[in-house]
Amino acid sequence: MIINPNVEIAIQKYIQNCLNKWETCSIEDILLNYDGSIQTNEAELRNTIINALKTGNLKIIDDKTPWDKTIVTLSKPFLFTYTKDNNFVVISKPNLRELSFKNIEKRNGQIDSVDCFRKIITSAKDVIRICSPFMQKNVLNDDSFPELRQLIFDALKRNVEIRLLSRELFKGRGEEIQWIIDVADDIGKIDNLKVVDYHFSSENGTVLSSTHAKLLIADYNMAYVGSAELRRNSLVANFEVGCLVKGSQVFGICEVFDFMFSNGRIWK
């Protein structure tokens, strides 16, 4: 059985703490007393114990029948080797009571989309790049992301430049983003907001080239890349998945964004 690495480390820490306190215990004791921070199940506990015996971290000192009565001790400490991940999974959950992602999020260190967007916007010092093809004012609804207006306000007050890349603004959708223009205008920071429409179609309406990417980027440091965008359905009703990316890859994402931004039509 392959065990989620996050879960296995949590179980290893629990086992090590137990045996540092008790010195010896039965396998049954380990199974019955798990109190780790991450929810697990018996199969994961048993397989972690088996793996620990194979690696020599646990040692049998009294082999009994049934096996759960076997007494074990800590032979050598577990090595909790962490690599600094630059990428995190980001999810939006359908807002239905019967669907709960909390346990899955916790087991895997995942981030909610709104929390991710908040983190990116508040961290920006120079430039926020937004690619949201279907950005809608309903993102500000009470059940969606109402604090977004204030976050944009605060960013502009910090003199952060905001570049918004969207689509079909010249085809009647410009009203949907007027709220962000109003925020910038109200505080005298309209020059800090640049809005571009990237959408080109033929005379018969066939799409020739358009943007469908969903990006939110703070400077060259942190970027969301995924399926969620700044509209209510993406944050409340839909199942969306993306990644929070940090490090050198962000620079390349910015280059792609800036290239598309420079080839669109200026809306504001």
DSSP string of 76-132, one letter each residue: S---------SEEEEEE----TT---HHHHHHHT-EEHHHHHHHHHHH-SSEEEEE-
What is the reported pLDDT for 247? 84
Query: Could you tell me the pLDDT band of residue 117, with boundaries at 50, 70 and 90?
Result: very high
In whole angstroms, give the CA distance from residue 58 to residue 255.
50
In this model, does residue 100 exceed pLDDT 70? no
What is the reported pLDDT for 180? 97
> What torsion do the CA atoms of 137, 141, 143, 145 make, to the nearest 10 degrees?
60
DSSP 62: E
The better pLDDT of the pair 195, 100 is held by 195
In this model, does residue 218 exceed pLDDT 70? yes
Give the chain's length: 268
What is the SS3 assignment for 203? coil
Q: Of 50-64, 96-110, 143-157, where does mean pLDDT reach its minimum?
A: 96-110
In whole angstroms, give the CA distance from residue 85 to residue 154.
29
What is the reported pLDDT for 96? 47
102 Cβ neighbours under 8 A, 6+ residues apart: none
Query: Could you tell me the pLDDT band of residue 81, with boundaries at 50, 70 and 90?
Result: low
What is the reported pLDDT for 251? 87
In whole angstroms, give the CA distance from residue 207 to residue 23.
69
Highest mean pLDDT among 99-103, 234-238, 258-262: 258-262
- The structure tokens 């409340």 sit at 236
User: Once rounded to an integer, what is the mean pLDDT over residues 33-38?
Assistant: 89
Structure tokens at 66: 């049934």
Query: Could you tell me the pLDDT band of residue 230, with boundaries at 50, 70 and 90?
Result: very high
Tell me the per-residue pLDDT of 137-185, one tens digit each, with 9 for 90 and over. Answer: 999 999 999 999 999 999 999 999 999 999 999 999 999 999 999 999 9
Q: Are 220 and 246 in contact (CB under 8 A)?
A: no
Query: Could you tell me the pLDDT band of residue 84, with boundaries at 50, 70 and 90?
Result: low
What is the reported pLDDT for 82? 59
- The structure tokens 């969301």 sit at 224
- Angstrom CA distances, 224 to 84, 151, 227, 257, stand at 18, 16, 9, 12
Q: Of 70-79, 92-101, 219-228, 235-244, where does mean pLDDT reach its minimum?
A: 92-101
CATH 3.30.870.10 occupies which residues in the chain?
87-266
The better pLDDT of the pair 7, 16 is held by 16
In whole angstroms, give the CA distance from residue 161 to residue 163.
7
What is the reported pLDDT for 5? 82
- What Rg value do the Cα atoms of the chain yield, rounded? 25
Q: Which CATH architecture has domain 87-266?
A: 2-Layer Sandwich (3.30)
Highest mean pLDDT among 85-94, 125-134, 200-209: 125-134
What is the reported pLDDT for 62? 96
In this model, does residue 56 exceed pLDDT 70? yes
Q: Which has the closest alpha carbon to 121: 85, 158, 90, 83?
A: 158
In whole angstroms, give the CA distance from residue 152 to residue 193.
10
CATH 1.10.10 occupies which residues in the chain?
5-74
According to DSSP, the β-strands at 58-62 and 71-74 are: antiparallel
What is the SS3 assignment for 74? strand
The CA-to-CA distance between both ends of the chain, in Å, stands at 56
CATH label, 5-74, candidates 1.10.287, 1.10.10, 1.10.1040, 1.10.3470? 1.10.10
In this model, does residue 238 exceed pLDDT 80? yes
In whole angstroms, give the CA distance from residue 139 to residue 145.
6
